[in-house]
A and B are shown apart, each in its own frame.
Chain A
């Protein structure tokens, strides 16, 4: 049994070490997100602030097509507030009984209305670059939330000596290649938080990343709390199985 455990442990270490060696790129600073660790959960107040940042800044260029207005209820918005938020945007619906398409205010059941009707329109408006959809951005980039935060706060006004950045591009320490088409999106005090939180650049970036993480993994709170219960259950069950095994095997050894 002991030999089995040591070899299993060695194999497990190898299995963890190999992918760890495999990942590369500039080392990311790990942020202390509220949802880190098995007991970590989202902070609803932070998610609401993050949604405000998304609504006032990010959503001018970026879509979030997988999230519906009704999902905002999770952040603590009431049904009427969700309705009001949705109704700010127009969506095309139809055809009606006259056979015509028509515009109507969005409903809670609609997905977030994108800022541009299609990718081509988005490129034209953004100097040829396509702002990626943000629904899954935290899962779709190596480093996840730490990477997104690093990009949001990684802009530098002047590139290091010897690096030239073409017109319409910006220097960013975290972005691969350091040349990014997105202009620096956030500054100090760019939003005014209703809950009185001081809107430093870092605070805004953190709140935005928290909201993006919720958009990518809305199930996380439930996953973590169910996971803790499931693992405690399985752990006790396994101990009982082991005790039973010892008892049944007692006369064999």
Chain B
């Protein structure tokens, strides 16, 4: 890693003592990346970009905010009305959470489609899921901070879930609340944790990238890189591609921020929290809706909570559940169809979560929940019975379409 030669004397001097420039060159400039990555591979860096945006706007929002139930709602409105460009900071942060989740969801489903979780990338996948879990905690606590009606009642409903834990459930809930209901101590600890957790995410992202650069990127063909003819350096090829991606993301993100800033929000959260008035139906933020639907599909409190957390925990075991050695869905005709059905099931669950649990919504929610969990045993069986299509010999072979057929089978046995 070290031992790089730099023309600039000062950089060379620093690098011999602290190899930050070597590390940067190794992992952000020279890093060999498969040459066939498609645009779905942009969403990892886009998620990273959103994390930076969230931290940058969040720090300045914290300067105008006050975590006290008596003033929190007014403090947010103070940011919106009296702080210079406070409305911009707050709308960037509020909608940034949604776009962060959009990027991460696409990133996860991309990994699912192209089998990026399979050996040797099991820990890379697990670290990604950990990031996702911490993100959910951070987003949930952030939503409580404006202390509107949905903040308060969302916090009440979600924290109450932990009371389903046998024996110690009530103690856990009391500990979360810092008292016997969602109140000022709850708001205080949520603010402290909401400020802390993004830095935990940063640390996890760092490990995620270390794991990525150890096992290297997967690619749309799902086959291993065979040699330098399959890769291109990260810079300038993927730096410019990621910049273009950021531009496209910004068009959507800023479009919402400037012209429909409350599109993802609930009107109820512009009503100050009132413990005596329950909103007609309490809905979590959209990115929690599929899990909310699973929670409500099980007619038993503990069972619902177990199913909800189980729906995420089971993803950690995906590398071992999926018994197929072929990574990319391109070469797995049946898995490809099941993947799209699974995606549709998740969307149906999301829709069920947004509706009051009445009538056919309950039935649809239950069928979709069953389908969600059925996906995993099915994946195991599928790996045993599915006949995958023949894999190309190397990444370079299909990319160099013009080259002779013999070229593909030639010398690339380096592994």
A interface residues, Cβ below 8 angstroms from B: 1, 4, 11, 14, 18-19, 21-22, 38, 66, 71, 132, 135-136, 139-142, 144, 216, 218-219, 223-224, 226-228, 230-231, 234-235, 237-238, 241-242, 244-245, 248-249, 252
Complex Cα distance, B267 from A73, in Å, reads 28
**Interface assignment of B286: CB less than 8 Å from any CB of chain A:** yes
- Asked whether B254 lies within 8 Å of A19 as measured between CB atoms, the reply is no
Complex Cα distance, B270 from A135, in Å, reads 10
Most buried by B among A216, A238, A242, A244: A238
Q: Which of B60-68, B134-142, B232-240, B380-388 touches A?
A: B232-240
- Asked whether B258 lies within 8 Å of A231 as measured between CB atoms, the reply is yes
A223 neighbours in B (Cβ, 8 Å):
87-88, 91, 258, 261
Contacts A18-B350, A38-B259 given: A4-B270 contact, CB under 8 Å? no
CB-CB nearest in chain A for B36: A252
- Asked whether B286 lies within 8 Å of A226 as measured between CB atoms, the reply is no
- Asked whether A227 lies within 8 Å of B354 as measured between CB atoms, the reply is no
- Asked whether A245 lies within 8 Å of B240 as measured between CB atoms, the reply is yes
Q: Which of B159-167, B187-195, B243-251, B405-413 touches A?
A: B243-251
CB-CB nearest in chain B for A215: B81
- Asked whether A241 lies within 8 Å of B77 as measured between CB atoms, the reply is no
Contacts A223-B258, A245-B241 given: A140-B354 contact, CB under 8 Å? no
- The contact of A238 among B77, B244, B355, by CB within 8 Å, is B244
- Asked whether A241 lies within 8 Å of B244 as measured between CB atoms, the reply is yes
Complex Cα distance, B244 from A244, in Å, reads 9
CB-CB nearest in chain B for A240: B247
Least CB distance from B17 to A in Å reads 34
**Interface assignment of B310: CB less than 8 Å from any CB of chain A:** no
Q: How large is the interface on B (under 10, 10 to 19, 20 to 34, 35 or more residues)?
A: 35 or more
**Interface assignment of B373: CB less than 8 Å from any CB of chain A:** no
B39 neighbours in A (Cβ, 8 Å):
1, 4
- Asked whether A14 lies within 8 Å of B240 as measured between CB atoms, the reply is no
**Interface assignment of B214: CB less than 8 Å from any CB of chain A:** no
Least CB distance from B34 to A in Å reads 11
| Interface majority SS (helix, strand, loop, mixed), chain B | helix
A244 neighbours in B (Cβ, 8 Å):
240, 244
Least CB distance from A135 to B in Å reads 8
- Asked whether A14 lies within 8 Å of B347 as measured between CB atoms, the reply is yes
Complex Cα distance, B258 from A228, in Å, reads 8
- The contact of A139 among B244, B270, B350, B351, by CB within 8 Å, is B270
**Interface assignment of B175: CB less than 8 Å from any CB of chain A:** no
Contacts A139-B270, A231-B254 given: A248-B247 contact, CB under 8 Å? no
B80 neighbours in A (Cβ, 8 Å):
219
Complex Cα distance, B132 from A224, in Å, reads 33
Can you name 10 A-B residue pairings with CB atoms under 8 Å?
A1-B39, A18-B351, A136-B271, A141-B267, A224-B259, A227-B259, A231-B255, A238-B244, A238-B247, A242-B244
Least CB distance from A240 to B in Å reads 8
Pairs of residues from A and B, 7 with the lowest C-beta to C-beta distance, nearest first = A227-B258, A238-B247, A140-B270, A241-B244, A219-B87, A22-B354, A136-B270
- The contact of A66 among B74, B232, B240, by CB within 8 Å, is B74
